Amino acid sequence: MSTATLLDDRCPRCGQAFHCGAQDARCDCFDLKLSEALRQQLAAQYERCLCIACLKALQQAEQAGTTAAE
């Protein structure tokens, strides 16, 4: 298993290439304080991680009181 920080993942929401560091020591998404509800929704909706841009967008949408579902 490579630990190289390549853009080896593709966001299932927007198709943007990115690297998820969840399998590494740290990931950018650790800085995002996603709610438990949003995490569960994402886990149910997507098989893979989303890029940071989408995570931030969904987080802001949730905080704005709108549904994060597309």
When asked if residue 51 is in the footprint of Zn ion (CB under 5 A), the reply is yes
Residue ranges in 10-49 that form contacts with Zn ion under rule CB under 5 A: 11, 13-14, 16
Q: Which is nearer to Zn ion, 1 or 44 (CB)?
A: 44
Residues 6+ apart with CB under 8 A from 61: 67, 68
* Residue 8: C-alpha distances to residues 17, 34, 40, 41, 49 (Å): 7, 23, 24, 23, 12
How far apart are CB 30 and Zn ion at their closest, in Å?
17
Binding site for Zn ion (CB under 5 A): 11, 13-14, 16, 50-51, 54
